[in-house]
Chain A
Amino acid sequence: MQMSGAQMVCEAIIAEGVKTVFGYPGGAIMHVYDEIYKQNGFEHILTRHEQAAVHAADGYARATGKVGVAMVTSGPGFTNAVTGLATAYMDSIPLVVISGQVPLSLIGTDGFQEIDAVGISRPCTKHNFLVYSIEELPRILKEAFYIARSGRPGPVLVDVPKDITVAMGNFVYPETVNIPTYKPTYKGNKKQIEKAVEAIKKAKKPLIYAGGGIVLSNASDLVRELAEKTQIPAVETLMARGVMGAKNPLLLGMLGMHGNYASNMAMSETDLIIALGARFDDRVTGKLSEFARYADIIHVDIDPANISKLVDVDYPIVGDVRDVLENMIPLLEDVNPNRYQAWREILKRYDALHPQSYVDSDEVLKPQWVIERVGELVGENAIITSDVGQHQMWAAQHYPFDRPRQWINSGGLGTMGFGLPAAIGAKRAFPEKTVINITGDGSILMNMQELVTAAEYKIPVINLILNNHFLGMVRQWQSFFYEKRYSQTDLTFQPNWKALAEACGGIGYDVTTKEEFDAALKDAIVQDKVCFMNIAINRFENVLPMVPAGGALFNMMLPQSVEK
């Protein structure tokens, strides 16, 4: 069928089954927006900043597992989107971002709103395209979606010059993709899997190290089955919260810089790490030379470059976690779960020695209490997004995540300002679910203009601002490592949160007590409006346990013991 490039972009989005696109128009992408106006195959949500458009598409993708789509104009529209691309890239989130570009004839002339988008985005996309002709546009669009979602997922940018959006061409959306240079490996090597199984059978202290790749490959049920069948305990990374389920007796907790004692000790003492879709990030391993010194390592990952990048691996298995576990679990039929009984006992004692805990207070709200309370009130039903800082870590530590995709946060890049737009994306995908953004008084301001978006489209996400009047996480480091010189982290000067929310078409709550919190949350859930809940918490609360950066995982700063 003959149509314009702009129409092709819309038709491809429809053909891919995308129902919601987030974006922001401008000169170079106007022809596409004109076609968006004319079609009704998908809705477009106008965020109030391009960064937020990409985060919203990202939140949508993380909540659903499908490819998220964002659209921006050239120049500043694109550069605003870069943080969104980088955020998605670091967490391997499938996105297609369409950017306008100046006409081909102007490329290289420093034209108005010209910027080298493929150049800038090269290191923060899985792949990117600059479209040179209308003939190649359908193929590129198809490939973009395919590359974004296949293999190790990631964001893909398609930069479309304005004249190509105007040009007419024949549109046949390809059924299949054939990129001879791109063939991701899904199937794990059978021999390697067998060797890994032998290692599991010989181990005395095996440990499942569950990473975000499990979420990406929708393999949580199989990881639970693996643990269940063998009774091997598990630790989760920040990105894997929800994989095992909070109530699972085999789950020790989160490991790493703010992991709990039992998890970090398990990692330090295990004799066999079963790493599934995890990448041995420095926030997880602590000092590498002290990391898991007694362990052999099985590493299952779809990205060969992740394997033996930081630690030497004994049983590398390149493949999709789901596929590999499907083949591995039947081979573990004859494992006697009693084999690891002594190990489980040790870990139980570690957990009893230093449980994940905090000292509650009657005078001031404690952030950990707030999060546990949210868990009690909405639990399984909610989707929780977060920004970056102490609140994020408290949420990861204390919320009872029950299922994958329930916890949405920027782990790899650590992008403040991610939470609210991501919540908007998640809520649009699951309107019937309560969506709560756990945020800080610093982070929320980084994309607070999205209040307006949420209000306009009636996307009632709840923003719990754990307000410590500090850039808390930085303040915590200053307390511990900079002799309490609170350089540029004091946020005593604050907006009127309630008024701010109301000014943008939302609701505001000021909360200082437990009773007020309960009442406010119950109210917020039934409202159909976006809200800010300004929750005054203990200013100097720290996130503990903490492994100081570069320290060994077993050297944790621990909280005072608690009478709870």
Chain B
Amino acid sequence: MKDARRVISVIVMNESSVLARVTALFAGRGYNIESLTVAPIPNSQMSHITIETKGNAKVMEQITKQLHKLIPVYKVIEHEEMVEKEMVLVKFPIAENLSDIEALCRAYNGGIVNVGKEMVVAQVADEPTRIQHFIEAAQRYNPCEIVRGGVVAIER
């Protein structure tokens, strides 16, 4: 069985230490977390946790079942047909070629969102693989800081 990248959504009661329960389960059972995002679901008492992980089918089955066992977990979705996006913020020195940076960002669904005295901040939101490409392309403009947001996903 091959290890593959997977994205799962975990719908949980929005209560204290629920995130700790989820992450402790991954740590305790030796599953890995590539990225994790979490936010409340509007107009509900639930939160949506998106976890990007790696494992073979058997490991994924265990992860799903073990997550289900946690009392505050409502639903676990192993994404198959999904739309997934990730956001990244990148800080560039203002001396760089800003119109090139702007063009690059546009190609990846983003743009420059803040201009300071010495730095500009660009924002891009796109599929995770494309975010990776963007970051590679951005290297030539000497980025001083890159903050990735982690994946969010929704079933199509």
Contacts and interface: CB of A to CB of B under 8 A. Distances in A.
Interface of A: 118-119, 122-123, 126-127, 130, 132, 147, 179-182, 303-305, 308-309
B28 interface: yes
Contacts of A132: 16
A305 B17 contact: no
Given A179-B71, A309-B65, 16 more contacts: A119-B17, A119-B20, A126-B71, A127-B71, A130-B16, A181-B12, A181-B71, A181-B73, A182-B71, A303-B69, A304-B68, A305-B65, A305-B66, A305-B69, A308-B58, A309-B62
A180 B74 CA distance: 7
Contacts of B65: 304-305, 309
Interface residues of B, number: 19
B17 A130 contact: yes
B24 A181 contact: no
Contacts of A130: 16-17
B111 interface: no
A303 B66 CA distance: 10
A132 B74 CA distance: 22
A179 B74 CA distance: 10
A118 B21 CA distance: 10
Nearest to B13: A181
Contacts of B55: none
Contact of A147 (B12, B13, B68, B71): B71
Contacts of A127: 71
Contacts of B68: 304-305
Contacts of A182: 71
B98 to A, nearest CB: 45
A122 B66 CA distance: 13
Nearest 3 CB-CB pairings of A with B = A305-B65, A181-B74, A127-B71
Nearest to B29: A123
A181 B17 CA distance: 15
Contacts of A179: 71
A92 B61 CA distance: 22
A305 B62 contact: yes
Interface of B: 12-13, 16-17, 20-21, 24, 28, 58, 61-62, 65-66, 68-69, 71-74
A53 to B, nearest CB: 24
A96 to B, nearest CB: 14
Nearest to B12: A181
8 contacts: A122-B20, A122-B21, A147-B71, A181-B13, A182-B71, A305-B62, A305-B66, A308-B61
A180 B46 CA distance: 11
Contacts of A180: 13, 74
Nearest to A309: B62
A253 to B, nearest CB: 31
Contacts of B58: 308
B83 to A, nearest CB: 26
B24 A122 contact: yes
A214 B65 CA distance: 22
Contacts of B69: 303, 305
Contacts of B13: 180-181
Nearest to A124: B28
Nearest to A184: B69
Contacts of A305: 62, 65-66, 68-69
Contacts of A147: 71
A123 B17 contact: no
B149 to A, nearest CB: 27
A382 B24 CA distance: 42
A180 B69 CA distance: 13
A98 to B, nearest CB: 18
A309 B65 CA distance: 10
B19 to A, nearest CB: 12
B24 A123 contact: yes
Contact of A181 (B16, B62, B72): B72
B3 to A, nearest CB: 18
A132 B16 CA distance: 10
Contacts of A309: 62, 65
B10 to A, nearest CB: 11
Nearest to B45: A180
A308 B12 CA distance: 25
A563 to B, nearest CB: 50
A488 B144 CA distance: 57
Nearest to B17: A118
Contacts of B66: 305
A132 to B, nearest CB: 7
Contacts of B24: 122-123
Nearest to A308: B61
Nearest to A119: B20
A147 B69 CA distance: 11
B62 to A, nearest CB: 6
A303 B20 CA distance: 22
B31 to A, nearest CB: 13
Contacts of B12: 181
Contacts of B74: 180-181
Nearest to B27: A123
Contacts of A303: 69
B67 to A, nearest CB: 9
Nearest to B67: A305
Nearest to A179: B71
Contacts of A308: 58, 61
Contacts of B62: 305, 309
Contacts of A119: 17, 20
Nearest to A122: B24
A181 B73 CA distance: 6
A132 B15 CA distance: 11
Contacts of A304: 65, 68
Contacts of B21: 122
A279 B28 CA distance: 19
A306 to B, nearest CB: 9
A127 B13 CA distance: 14
A207 to B, nearest CB: 25
A130 B74 CA distance: 20
